[in-house]
């Protein structure tokens, strides 16, 4: 029952292992008839080369690693999915590692998985800039998601643009006083949101109450009273999860959304359309983000893989940008029922 090796095939075909290797790898220097004989022997023995041994000698594993902070987060799930499908289309495998939000573990995790693969796609929104910068050289080739230290390829969503679109939407509805439920302080994408908010506040007289927050449902639920206390007419949640938690508690308090308070999220996770009321949000094309992450990785790997894999799932993309080494996807504003005219 033991797996057959290249030596078995060589023996059966009556040739040397070198020839078997050449024949099976399509090296044109081997006589067609001989190659056929080898192939037949391989099939008879159900032989297929050991990826392990192959990797060792070739120096490539045809596998990439993906490190995410939380596999339970819909955003990272979609990125993973897009990445996984795109990589598969080019014959690559994906090793996934969930750092479980443990920032101090991310470095070791990334380094560890890197050694078993040809490269790593790192999603580490909370890792400090200096630590990240120090880590990158050891990780190369590496592609970053939602971080842009310029030194390496990166893909990301334009959080600033998304927030601005949401604010413009709300502003148009008459809102002037906002509550912002922040994400984690150290988060890069939180910083991008805050910057956009401040820029908007500067040019249109609005007031923004920044509230400490979190990234999940519970964080939103816990912030409801604080939001109401600000007297704001609209709440901008860090993401859809937070917005949903907020709305949930709000309903419990008997607060009318959007009558008394408009609530908007961010990301447009699959269920944002089915909350009550449906959530107004900025749709981040996360699946596409994963695909682009693969494209970037594939490019730096010099992968001369299979078909260029027509990547679908449209999303507004400045063509020049999507093709660059640092594509930045602009989220689409999705207006649903959770936002309405400001209460008087």
Partner DNA sequence: TACTCGCCGGAAAGCGCTTACCCACCGCCC
Partner DNA sequence: GGGCGGTGGGTAAGCGCTTTCCGGCGAGTA
Residues near a copy of itself (CB under 8 A): 48, 50-53, 55-56, 61, 63, 71-72, 77-78, 80-81, 84-85, 88, 93-98, 100, 113, 115-116, 217, 244, 248, 270-271, 274-277
Greatest alpha-carbon span in the chain: 90
Q: Is 189 in the site for DNA (CB under 7 A)?
A: no
Q: Residue 7 binds what, of DNA, a copy of itself, none (CB under 5 to 8 Å, by partner type)?
A: DNA
Least spacing, CB of residue 56 vs DNA, in Å: 4
Q: Is 24 in the site for DNA (CB under 7 A)?
A: yes
Pick one of 21, 84, 113, 223: the residue that binds DNA (CB under 7 A).
21
Q: What are phi and psi of 17, to 5 degrees?
A: -60, -30
Distances (CA, A) of 177 to 199, 255, 262, 337, 341: 15, 17, 11, 19, 12
Least spacing, CB of residue 2 vs a copy of itself, in Å: 11
Q: Is 43 in the site for DNA (CB under 7 A)?
A: no
Least spacing, CB of residue 269 vs a copy of itself, in Å: 8
CB-nearer residue toward a copy of itself: 160 or 245: 245
Candidate ranges 45-53, 79-87, 168-176, 178-186; the one touching DNA (CB under 7 A): 45-53
Q: Residue 89 binds what, of a copy of itself, DNA, none (CB under 5 to 8 Å, by partner type)?
A: none
Q: Residue 324 binds what, of DNA, a copy of itself, none (CB under 5 to 8 Å, by partner type)?
A: none
Least spacing, CB of residue 313 vs a copy of itself, in Å: 12
Q: Residue 22 binds what, of a copy of itself, DNA, none (CB under 5 to 8 Å, by partner type)?
A: DNA
Residues 55-114 that bind DNA (CB under 7 A): 56-58
CB-nearer residue toward DNA: 302 or 314: 302
Q: What is the torsional sign of CA 123, 216, 336, 190?
A: negative
Pick one of 6, 152, 269, 295: the residue that binds DNA (CB under 7 A).
6
Q: Residue 77 binds what, of a copy of itself, DNA, none (CB under 5 to 8 Å, by partner type)?
A: a copy of itself
Q: Is 30 in the site for DNA (CB under 7 A)?
A: yes
Separation of alpha carbons 112 and 139, rounded Å: 10
CB-nearer residue toward DNA: 15 or 196: 15
Residues 152-171 that bind DNA (CB under 7 A): none
CB 233, CB 176: distance < 8 Å: yes
Q: Residue 177 binds what, of DNA, a copy of itself, none (CB under 5 to 8 Å, by partner type)?
A: none
Q: Is 50 in the site for DNA (CB under 7 A)?
A: yes
Distance of CA 8 to the CA centre of its chain: 44
Least spacing, CB of residue 121 vs DNA, in Å: 24
Interacting residues toward DNA by CB under 7 A: 3, 5-7, 14-22, 24-25, 29-31, 34, 47, 49-50, 52-54, 56-58
């Amino acid at each position: 029952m033991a797996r057959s090796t290249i030596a078995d095939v060589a023996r059966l075909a009556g040739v040397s292992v070198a020839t078997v290797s050449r024949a099976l790898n399509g090296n044109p220097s081997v006589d067609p008839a001989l190659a056929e004989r080898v192939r037949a022997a391989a099939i008879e023995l159900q032989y297929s080369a050991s990826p392990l041994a192959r990797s060792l000698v070739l120096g490539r594993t045809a596998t990439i690693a993906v490190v995410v902070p939380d596999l339970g987060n819909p955003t990272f799930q979609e990125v993973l999915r897009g990445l996984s499908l795109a990589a598969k289309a080019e014959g690559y495998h994906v090793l996934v590692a969930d750092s479980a939000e443990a920032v101090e573990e991310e470095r070791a995790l990334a380094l560890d998985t890197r050694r078993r693969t040809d490269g790593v796609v790192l999603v580490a929104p909370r890792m400090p800039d200096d630590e990240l910068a120090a880590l990158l050289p050891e990780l190369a080739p590496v592609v970053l998601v939602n971080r842009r230290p310029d030194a390496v390829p990166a893909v990301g969503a334009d959080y600033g643009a998304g927030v601005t679109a949401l604010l413009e939407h709300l502003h148009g509805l008459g809102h002037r006083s906002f509550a912002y439920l922040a994400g984690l302080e150290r988060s890069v994408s939180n910083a991008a949101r805050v910057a956009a908010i401040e820029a908007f506040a500067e040019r249109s007289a609005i007031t923004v109450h920044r509230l400490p927050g979190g990234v999940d449902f519970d964080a939103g639920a816990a912030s409801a009273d604080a939001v109401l206390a600000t007297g704001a007419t609209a709440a901008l949640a860090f993401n859809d999860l937070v917005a949903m938690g907020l709305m949930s508690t709000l309903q419990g308090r008997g607060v009318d959304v959007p009558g008394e308070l408009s609530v908007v999220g961010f990301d447009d996770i699959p269920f944002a359309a089915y909350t009550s009321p449906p959530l107004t949000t900025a749709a981040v094309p996360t699946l596409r983000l994963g695909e682009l992450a693969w494209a970037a990785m594939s490019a730096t790997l010099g992968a001369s893989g299979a078909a260029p894999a027509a990547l679908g799932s449209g999303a507004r993309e400045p063509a020049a940008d999507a093709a660059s080494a640092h594509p930045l996807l602009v989220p689409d504003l999705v207006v649903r029922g959770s936002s309405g005219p400001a209460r008087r």
